[in-house]
Amino acid sequence: MVKQPTTKNQSEGFYRLISFLSPILFLFSWETLVRVGLLDYRFFPAPTMLVEIFVEMIGSGELWSHVSISLMRVLAGFALGALPAISLGLLMGWFRAVYAFFDPLIAAIYPVPKIALLPLFLIMFGLGETTKIVTIAVAVFFIVLITTVNGVRLVDPILTDVARSYGAHGWRLFARVIFPATLPAIFTSLRLGMGIALLVIVGAEFVAANSGVGYLIWTSWATLTVKKMYVGLVLIALLGVLSTQGLERLRKLTMPWAQDFHTPR
């Protein structure tokens, strides 16, 4: 029978409630510990103090200026890396010759932590935006590429058998079967890629920027404005959550047939 979501909803609400509990408890204890003086507010400012500075930074526009520039870098680098990676990954997964041609090169470059290439890109592109965007793009490219290639190779052979038995071949087989069958793997690769993009942007902005969330965190340390550092940490976490949710929404839109990741079955 078709499965109906009947009793599931109420238990789902219960689990959602539980998930809220731990952060609230955490923030509450933190606040209390600072108030009673067990935590030094100069290093661990209480959550309420952070809210204060947060609001202040929104008002002055400082917050948005950092977030927007980081967002721009991440999104540009992400797109620049992911789109070619998906295309090449599909080709490498599907055509043995394309795989054989590119594989040695990729196997050689893949293990290099991409942030280590930042100095090289600084030499090539200077201190401007290009350097940061390219570093993110390269990091995203490799992880998305490799996950996509694997995705194509793991397409259930029964699906290609069925398609072939109905006369599908060449481009049609690729577009109607291989590509949709690889979509779940592609979305997994995009999630991984987004995580890496955030890692790289923070690293790059630590050393080679004078704006952005990474820069905010770094200079706050250097100038001992610890509260702003915490704001930076919260912001980068927010960027992570928002981007993951954006991808999740895109995934649901593109793959209405797919089951939810977290629903146990």
Partner 1 sequence: MTAEISILHVGKTYTTPQGGVVALDDISLVVPPGEFLCIVGPSGCGKSTLLRMLAGISSHTSGEINCRAVDERQRPLTAMVFQEYGLFPWRTVLDNVMFGLEMRNVARRERIVIAQDYLAKVGLAQFARAYPHQLSGGMKQRVAIARALANDPAILLMDEPFAALDAQTRYLMQEELLRIWEADRKTVLYITHSLEEAVMLGDRVAVMTARPGRIKQIYPIDLPRPRTQALRTSVAFNQLVATIWEDLVEEVNAAQLQEWTAIAEQKGRTGWLNSQQRKTRVKVSTD
Q: Which is nearer to partner 1, 75 or 168 (CB)?
A: 168
User: 214 with 201: CB under 8 angstroms?
Assistant: yes
- Minimal distance in Å, beta carbon 251 to partner 1? 12
Q: How far apart are CA 132 and CA 119, in angstroms?
A: 11
Q: How far apart are CA 175 and CA 77, in angstroms?
A: 27
Name the CA radius of gyration of the chain, rounded.
23
Q: Which is nearer to partner 1, 160 or 225 (CB)?
A: 160
Q: What is the DSSP code (8-state) at residue 175?
A: I
Residue 86 sits at φ, ψ, to 5 deg, of: -65, -45
- Minimal distance in Å, beta carbon 13 to partner 1? 23
Which tokens is 2 given?
């078709």
Q: Which is nearer to partner 1, 35 or 176 (CB)?
A: 176
What lies within 8 Å, CB to CB, of 80 at 6+ separation is: 133, 134, 136, 137, 140
- Minimal distance in Å, beta carbon 86 to partner 1? 17
- Minimal distance in Å, beta carbon 26 to partner 1? 37
- Minimal distance in Å, beta carbon 175 to partner 1? 12
Q: Which is nearer to partner 1, 84 or 180 (CB)?
A: 180
Q: How far apart are CA 156 and CA 168, in angstroms?
A: 16
Q: Which is nearer to partner 1, 162 or 224 (CB)?
A: 162
Q: How far apart are CA 105 and CA 100, in angstroms?
A: 10
- Minimal distance in Å, beta carbon 2 to partner 1? 5
Residue 126 sits at φ, ψ, to 5 deg, of: 75, -165
User: 179 with 160: CB under 8 angstroms?
Assistant: no
- Minimal distance in Å, beta carbon 188 to partner 1? 16
Q: Which residues bind partner 1 (CB under 8 A)?
A: 1-3, 158-159, 161-168, 172, 176-177, 180-181, 183, 255-259
Q: How far apart are CA 259 and CA 257, in angstroms?
A: 7
Q: How far is CA 175 from CA 74, 94, 117, 163, 170, in A?
A: 29, 11, 35, 11, 9
Q: Which is nearer to partner 1, 10 or 165 (CB)?
A: 165
- Minimal distance in Å, beta carbon 164 to partner 1? 5
